[in-house]
Amino acid sequence: MCELLGMSANTPTDICFSFAGLAKRGGKTGPHRDGWGIAFYEEKGCRLFHDPNPSAESELSELVKNYPIKSELVISHIRRANRGKICLANTHPFIRELWGQIWCFAHNGQLKGIKKEPLTFYQPVGTTDSEHAFCWLLDQIRLNFPKRPAKLAKLHQLIRDCCHQLNQKGVFNMIMSDSQHLYVHCGTRLHWITRRAPFGEAKLLDEEIEVDFSRETTPNDIVTIVATQPLTTNETWQKMGKNELQILTKGVFLKND
């Protein structure tokens, strides 16, 4: 099992607090020793950190924990290898460009037979099931929408259908972004919390850290965090349903069409 973390916010927000909890699971409070990665969007650009070393011992991870990179969209992944050797090319999140947008994808689970699915535009660089699934998903989007559609409802429906297909192949917990939306699919296990005014205090489950969000936010901020397991002890996290896709933008869930 790997651990996923995603954030969608309506204002650039640092993820130091949540990442500190997640990173601890990479080799200390959790068994996820086989690398980690994090992507921060900054408008259309995307800043990526990848490390095949355990996050709990990584110098890069220290940098990310302490360097308050602010972003409205973040995707992170801590890996426990089950398919594919431990190397940089197999480290999530994966990225590709479609319609001049950077798409970013992180996955937890196994997908039986996924590598038999033929690919058209995108080819995996590494050997994971996950990257193959990402290439297949982007292929479907590109085959159906060679150009970015003006109305997004049909695109969202296609992504939902593809996620359901992938889910039938095994376990498909996924967080993906197109630089505007956060697409979150729960196969077996994902939790979320939305923080907005009045902000309170939060206490990490995995490390002795507390944060008082009311000191770091404005009353208009909306920040939704998605994670495999709740990261804090004193807040109420919502459990997602199985085979449920949610789409967020600016911290807010889109209504299902």
- In whole angstroms, the minimum distance from the beta carbon of 19 to a copy of itself comes to 16
| CA pair distance 130, 124, nearest whole angstrom | 9
- In whole angstroms, the minimum distance from the beta carbon of 123 to a copy of itself comes to 4
- In whole angstroms, the minimum distance from the beta carbon of 124 to a copy of itself comes to 6
Whether 104 is catalytic = no
Nearer to a copy of itself, 20 or 193 (CB): 20
Nearer to a copy of itself, 3 or 178 (CB): 178
Nearer to a copy of itself, 21 or 124 (CB): 124
SS3 104: strand
- In whole angstroms, the minimum distance from the beta carbon of 238 to a copy of itself comes to 32
Please report, as ranges, the residues that interact with a copy of itself according to CB under 8 A: 42-52, 59-60, 63, 67, 87-91, 96-97, 99-102, 121-126
Taking CA atoms, 135 is separated from 94, 152, 171, in Å, by: 10, 20, 17
Nearer to a copy of itself, 139 or 206 (CB): 139
| CA pair distance 37, 40, nearest whole angstrom | 10
Neighbours of 154 (CB within 10 A): 12
Extract the tokens encoding 211. Answer: 């944060």
Which positions ≥6 away from 136 have C-beta within 8 Å?
114, 117, 119, 162, 166
| CA pair distance 28, 23, nearest whole angstrom | 9
Nearer to a copy of itself, 90 or 228 (CB): 90
| CA pair distance 183, 161, nearest whole angstrom | 13
Quote the DSSP letter at residue 143.
H
| CA pair distance 212, 209, nearest whole angstrom | 10
Q: How many CA atoms lie within 13 A of 155 on its CB side?
A: 16
Nearer to a copy of itself, 94 or 213 (CB): 94
- In whole angstroms, the minimum distance from the beta carbon of 138 to a copy of itself comes to 10
| CA pair distance 18, 206, nearest whole angstrom | 10
SS3 215: helix
- In whole angstroms, the minimum distance from the beta carbon of 13 to a copy of itself comes to 16
Pick the catalytic residue from 2, 104, 163, 186: 2
SS3 38: strand
Active site residues: 2
